[in-house]
Amino acid sequence: MTSIVYFRRRKQYKMDKGKEKIVDLLSGLKGAGSFVTNGHQPLKSPGIEIEGFGELAFPVNAVQTKALMEIAQKAPFGKGHDTVYDDQVRRTWEIDASQIKFLGKSWKGQLAKILEEVQKQLGIIGYKVEASLYKLLIYNKGDFFLPHRDSEKEKGMFGSLIINLPSRFTGGELVVSFGGESKVVDFAASDELENLQYAAFYADCEHEVKPITSGFRVCLAYNLIQKAGAKIAPRKTDQLSLELMKLLEAAHKKDRLEPQIILLGHQYTPENFSYETLKLNDRPKADVILKAASQAGYYAKLCLVTSYIMGAPEGGGYYEFYDEGDEEAVMEEVYDESLYIEHWAAGDCPSLYRLEIDQEALITSFPINDGDPIVKEFSGYMGNYGPDLEHWYHYGAIVLWSHQTNADKLTAQDSNTLLAWMDYFLQNPDKATSEEKAAIDTQLMEGFKQTGRKSDPENYNKLIEWVIAQKNKNFFDALQPELWASYFLKIDTKNLIELFQFLGNGPSQKLLISIGERSDKKLLEKWIELLIELDTANVLSELVAQQLEGLPENLIKTMGNAKKDKSPLNEHTLQMVMGLPGHFKLSKAWQDKTLEQLEDFTLAPYRNTVVFSSLISAQLKDAFPKKLAKRLITYLKALKEPKAPENWIRPLPEGALHGKVHKLLAGFFSDPDQQIFDYKALQANRREVEHALDRADLDIKWETIRRGSPQTLRITKTSKSFKRLHKQWELDQKQLEELQNRFG
């Protein structure tokens, strides 16, 4: 998701003691990693051979799995010092590592890559770690393993690695918990059967396997072994989070409206930034901050703080010093800089858009803009203009802000961000304060702010869900008609039906009347569609009937505007109107009045495209299309065939050409014998005539005769208007014949 958080121009400042305490607390965190991780690697024919079975083929299918279960044993579990079997605790099958052999060399390389990623993600860089194969596990439909912790199966074991072999199944989620947190690994969520999916976790973690609901799951279980060094164990951050929570609570009371931004320590490219890609110490810092922020009642979100600097390079940047794109260019003079956030990582809550923050909001153990930027661009020497040198620093950070801040900022959000917050509160109703709800309502009353980006939302369905969830039947009473109309067009019909069911007859009538009277083609189309769907759903039937009585008057206004704009009703709308009498049993008087509005066939695109196409595809059993077809047939019969011009007189409408050019050509247009007019003049005078002719739709063509000096503009009369009219008449006659064949 992309949002922009703007900062005011930076200045020197000193952090207060509260922020210094936060920096000191976080500075003690070393290492990185999570208590559990998962990912995938491309499958490269591992060549797994099993004693008593043979070589596995991928994806593993049901026939192979059943054959494997013939040589497998029921899997036990540890209970104290004993090993027991209990289908109420664990139900799965296993094949011992001693029966498994890997053919060729590809598996060793694949396992090494998986282990390399696991070490990074668990935060155990610098240790020598190996993976020792323990079992091949087979889960059939209904198989599971209740919550448990892995025992130390061999010396140095500190964790487990599960490599899922490609097969088709559902269920079987692995749930790993530690320190009050849980993570679900759903191996069945991926459709990529050409990948090896893996999960790894510390032995201290409680974990369970949910029941398989269909298919078979086959996986390799490895013990993660530590070869040397201090004991590897997941980092417990509960106490640190508690201490940080107290510091945040103090800051919250002191300065409740200003967001706080804690810089983690490392730079990242926007393309490669996420929670999973956090480097070294940044991961444990993020974990502690996010947990503490939640406990303290803050919103918190991982982001990139971007420091942008533009200036002149050392030595002026001229070509004798640097080549274009020179990475060694050093900035000597800064003439523009900004500090902002436009990249947010995925997380629990949505981001914010246009959040203005002073530099004083930064909580950091290091000065920004020291060292090399992560992105650097040098424009090079540009002739008479000096070059530009641009630096971008992208710092990993976490933004924290209060509910009060959120309520204050929600009224300034763009449509995407506001809809995201509405959805978040709909999914988490207990997290929205009354101030935040009121802020969203205020924004909705003023209208969504559009950015003009392709990512602007296609619909406002969440608006209806929001109003209904808040049980706010008075929301639309104060809404401006123009704003309601804009919302109406971007809300799906299904959601509008839910709204009118919620509002009831009176408020719904007011809203429908407001739409029907607006004389807008798009609104009229959706209005009719909604009335039909309301009737089909048996919702507010009496109200629907009342609204339909006003359709002829609405058509009068809409067709009038359409004729004025030379933009008729579309085919879909006309087809719906033609189907109304049969659907609702409307009176003859209603039909006659509606037909009067639809039979204005003077606009050729309307009669030839909209009306003709609608009639050709209409149901012959319906009386209304027959009546409209009869009127169109009568109109087409009355059309006279255009006659070719008898001489070279051509029309020159008043105002078609401006005074000077009109005076030059008026005699030529009215001369019955003259077809060609040669205008020998300087180029500027010829251009003036050409521009005037370009803007006028006249029966002429012109060319420049490039002989002599000055050259000649030759204007020739044509019969293109007649040809166009005759082509139109031929189309009308063809359609007349088709209509007569269909309707008689």
Given a contact cutoff of 8 angstroms between Cβ atoms, the answer to whether 54 and 101 are in contact is no
User: Range with the lowest mean pLDDT among 5-9, 111-115, 371-375?
Assistant: 5-9
Helices vs strands, H then E, count in the chain = 23, 29
Measure the CA–CA gap between 342 and 5, rounded to whole angstroms.
6
Q: Closest by alpha carbon to 718, among 643, 650, 655?
A: 650
What is the mean pLDDT of the segment spanning 523-552?
87
Residue 612, both tokens: 């003709």
Amino acid 4: pLDDT: 47
Residue 36, both tokens: 């559990």
Q: What is the DSSP string of 676-697?
A: EEEEE--HHHHHHHHHHHHTS-
Residues 423-462 pLDDT 10s? 999 999 999 999 999 999 999 999 887 766 666 788 999 9
Measure the CA–CA gap between 45 and 481, rounded to whole angstroms.
64
Amino acid 324: pLDDT: 44
What's the fold here for domain 36-226?
Answer: Jelly Rolls (2.60.120)
Element (H, E) at 389: strand 389-401
Alpha-carbon dihedral sign for residues 47, 50, 54, 58: negative
φ, ψ for residue 78, nearest 5 deg: -85, 135
User: Range with the lowest mean pLDDT among 34-43, 314-323, 550-559, 579-588?
Assistant: 314-323
Element (H, E) at 741: helix 720-743
Given a contact cutoff of 8 angstroms between Cβ atoms, the answer to whether 29 and 110 are in contact is no
Amino acid 230: pLDDT: 58
What is the mean pLDDT of the segment spanning 251-280?
75
Measure the CA–CA gap between 361 and 198, rounded to whole angstroms.
40
What is the mean pLDDT of the segment spanning 283-294?
84
Residues 582-607 pLDDT 10s? 788 888 888 888 888 888 888 898 89
Residues 546-594 pLDDT 10s? 888 888 888 877 777 766 666 677 888 888 888 888 788 888 888 888 8
Domain boundaries, the chain: 2-31+237-401, 36-226, 471-636, 659-718
Q: What is the 3-state secondary structure (H, E, C) of 115-162?
A: HHHHHHHHCCCCCCEEEEEEEEEEECCCCEEEEECCCCCCCCEEEEEE
In one-letter notation, the amino acid at residue 211 is P
Find the farthest-apart pair of alpha carbons in the chain and give their distance in angstroms, rounded: 118
CB atoms within 10 A of CB 740: 13
User: Range with the lowest mean pLDDT among 308-312, 401-405, 452-456, 534-538?
Assistant: 452-456
Measure the CA–CA gap between 197 and 190, rounded to whole angstroms.
9
Higher-confidence residue: 236 or 131?
Answer: 131
Residue 740: which pLDDT band, with cuts at 50, 70 and 90? Answer: very high
Half-sphere exposure of residue 547, counting CA atoms within 13 Å on the CB side?
27
Amino acid 254: pLDDT: 52
Higher-confidence residue: 455 or 140?
Answer: 140
**Strand pairing class (82-84; 129-139):** unpaired
User: Range with the lowest mean pLDDT among 215-219, 312-316, 602-606?
Assistant: 312-316
User: Range with the lowest mean pLDDT among 189-193, 336-340, 412-416, 691-695?
Assistant: 189-193
Residue 383: which pLDDT band, with cuts at 50, 70 and 90? Answer: very low
φ, ψ for residue 686, nearest 5 deg: -65, -40
Place of tokens 């999914």: 427
Measure the CA–CA gap between 77 and 149, rounded to whole angstroms.
10
Measure the CA–CA gap between 150 and 159, rounded to whole angstroms.
8
- Coil vs helix vs strand at 361: helix
Q: Closest by alpha carbon to 598, among 571, 638, 637?
A: 571
Alpha-carbon dihedral sign for residues 456, 461, 465, 467: positive
Amino acid 493: pLDDT: 94
Given a contact cutoff of 8 angstroms between Cβ atoms, the answer to whether 6 and 337 are in contact is no
Residue 368: which pLDDT band, with cuts at 50, 70 and 90? Answer: confident
User: Range with the lowest mean pLDDT among 111-125, 235-249, 693-707?
Assistant: 235-249
Residues in the chain: 744
What single DSSP character describes residue 450? P
Mean model confidence pLDDT for the chain: 84
Amino acid 328: pLDDT: 62
CA–CA distances in Å: residue 432 to residues 403, 429, 643: 8, 6, 74
Q: Is the pLDDT of residue 26 over 90?
A: no
Measure the CA–CA gap between 738 and 732, rounded to whole angstroms.
10
Quote the percentage of the chain above a pLDDT of 70: 87
Q: Closest by alpha carbon to 136, among 217, 235, 253?
A: 217
